[in-house]
Amino acid sequence: MKKEYTWFMELKNFATGLGWNNAKQTVDCPDEWWNEHLAKCNNPEKGIKCNHVRFKKQGPKYLEDLHLLFEKVHVTGASASCPGDVSSAESS
């Protein structure tokens, strides 16, 4: 459940500026956007299939409950860093 929620929140955060389908509880994106996103997200050479595609037609079941359970504890790695990393402010 937590993985699915994290994947969904990654998609939702990535798809800023697009619509929201309240009935389906998912982002409302045109097919062109999905094609572009999946082309970037999939990596056939490494056998990686984009996890976001599962939310194209419907968001996760019980989304409100998942928010209550995981909203403050899911991580995406977007803010991860390693010792010795140089921030963009430091490198300029």
Q: 17 pLDDT band (50/70/90 cuts)?
A: confident
DSSP secondary structure string, the chain? -HHHHHHHHHHHHHTTTSEEETTTTEEE--HHHHHHHHHHH-BGGGTB--GGGGGSS---TTHHHHHHHHTTT---STT---TT---HHHH-
What is the pLDDT at residue 87?
55
Q: pTM score > 0.75 for this model? A: no
What is the pLDDT at residue 43?
82
Instruction: Summarize the confidence of residues 38-42 as an average pLDDT.
Output: 88
